[in-house]
Structures are given as structure tokens and as C-alpha cells.
């Protein structure tokens, strides 16, 4: 299906119910805050023995981004060592700074929830954006929700629509409600502009992913 049609179809479908929602005063932006549980791949560190954990630690200390992410996961979950959110953040940051996308997303979640680090929605948005621009759907959804809520970024329903649309097209079904709620708050002219921006940005992100 043509990409522009996909985005437009979502807005058209929503227009059938928007008047009722407005009349009832319902609807709200929703992110998944904190956003750590769904994408931490607990299976990666389940059942590890002491020798395996030590090998991960050595690799992490030598700069391996994947191993650093696994160390963060172990500290977050208390798998193989005492649970320690601050150490989880330490290893997440090291991994995220090497552009490991899951670490970027989860570091955003730590800043959003204030676990292991002082809560900072601007920092959360920064790391969500990095992951979102790499095509990580949950980060796209959360960035859209932050624009809708004005958390860590200026409140902007147009940008909320853009990132929620991209997240929905990237496979996050939960972003559809945010996209439609954002559409209900935009004029026809602004919605058209947001649809065009979402199309262009989605295509750029997909091209970037293909080139990685």
C-alpha cells in the first residue's frame, strides 16, 4: 500500500469518531512510562552462571556495546548480581553512547521513570529521539507522547502526530490512539502538513535502517 495513503487512511478513519470524542471530552496521550520491561530481553541473562557473567563483564569493560547492554540488564533485573539501578544506568549509558539502539531506548526509560538516575524528561526525550531516529518503534511512540504531554520538549500536537504515526507504521499498535488523538487537536491544514512530514521522516528512517 502507498505510504502516503497509509497515513492519510489513518486520519480519515479517525475522522469518523473524532466529533463524538470531542463532545465527550475524552482522549489523552499515553506513553509507556517507565518503558523498561517490554524490551529488556530478560531471556538473554536468565540462567547465566558466574563464569558466563564474568565473560560478559570483561567484554563490557573492553567496550563491547552488546555486552554493556547485557550488564545493564543484569543489574536492572538482579540476575547474577544484586539489583542496582544506578549501575544499570552506568552500563546503559556506555552502550547507548556507542549507538546501541536498545540501550538508548532503555536509558530514556530510566530517565523517564527516575530509576538509577534523577528523573529528567528532557534527557528521556533526548535518548528516545536517538532510538526513534534509528527506527525503534517504542521510542517513536514515547517521543510522540512526550510532545503531546509537553514532557521534556515543548508541547506540540503536530510533532505528537508525526512521531505517533511513524511508530504506528513501524508496528507499535499502541501508538494508533495517540496518533488519532493528536489528529483531533489539529486543524485540517496542520494535519495535512503533519501527514506530509510523517511520510517524509518515515521514509528517511527506513532508508537509514537499510543502510546500516
Q: Where are the domains of the chain?
A: 1-30+120-212, 39-118
Measuring CA to CA, how many Å separate 45 from each of 67, 78, 120?
A: 11, 10, 28
Q: What is the pTM of this model?
A: 0.83
pLDDT at 68: 96
3-state helix, strand, coil in the chain (%, to 5): 70, 0, 30
Beta carbons of 109 and 124 less than 8 angstroms apart: yes
Cα diameter, the chain? 61
List, for residues 2-23, the tens digit of each pLDDT value. Answer: 554 444 444 433 333 333 333 3
List, for residues 102-120, the tens digit of each pLDDT value. Answer: 999 999 999 999 999 999 9
Q: Which residues contact 197 (CB under 8 A, 6 or more apart)?
A: 158, 162
Gap between the Cα atoms of 118 and 10, Å rounded: 37
| Residue 35 cell numbers, joined | 518503558
The position carrying cell 505510504 is: 3
Amino acid at each position: 500500500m502507498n505510504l502516503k495513503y497509509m497515513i492519510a487512511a489513518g486520519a480519515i478513519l479517525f475522522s469518523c469518531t473524532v466529533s463524538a470524542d470531542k463532545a465527550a471530552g475524552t482522549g489523552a496521550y499515553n506513553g509507556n512510562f517507565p518503558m523498561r520491561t517490554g524490551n529488556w530481553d530478560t531471556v538473554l541473562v536468565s540462567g547465566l552462571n558466574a563464569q558466563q557473567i564474568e565473560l560478559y563483564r570483561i567484554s563490557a569493560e573492553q567496550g563491547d556495546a552488546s555486552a554493556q547492554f547485557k550488564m545493564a540488564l543484569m543489574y536492572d533485573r538482579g540476575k547474577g548480581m544484586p539489583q542496582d539501578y544506578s549501575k544499570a544506568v552506568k552500563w546503559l549509558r556506555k552502550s547507548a553512547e556507542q549507538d546501541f539502539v536498545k540501550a538508548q531506548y532503555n536509558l530514556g526509560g530510566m530517565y523517564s521513570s527516575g530509576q538509577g538516575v534523577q528523573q529528567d524528561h528532557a534527557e528521556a526525550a533526548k535518548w528516545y529521539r536517538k532510538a526513534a531516529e534509528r527506527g525503534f518503534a517504542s521510542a517513536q511512540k514515547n517521543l510522540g507522547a512526550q510532545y503531546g504531554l509537553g514532557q521534556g520538549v515543548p508541547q506540540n500536537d503536530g510533532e505528537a502526530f508525526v512521531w505517533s504515526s511513524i511508530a504506528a507504521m513501524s508496528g507499535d499498535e499502541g501508538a494508533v490512539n495517540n496518533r488519532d488523538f493528536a489528529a483531533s487537536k489539529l486543524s485540517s491544514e496542520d494535519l495535512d502538513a503533519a501527514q506530509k512530514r510523517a511520510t517524509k521522516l518515515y521514509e528517511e528512517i527506513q532508508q537509514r535502517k537499510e543502510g546500516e
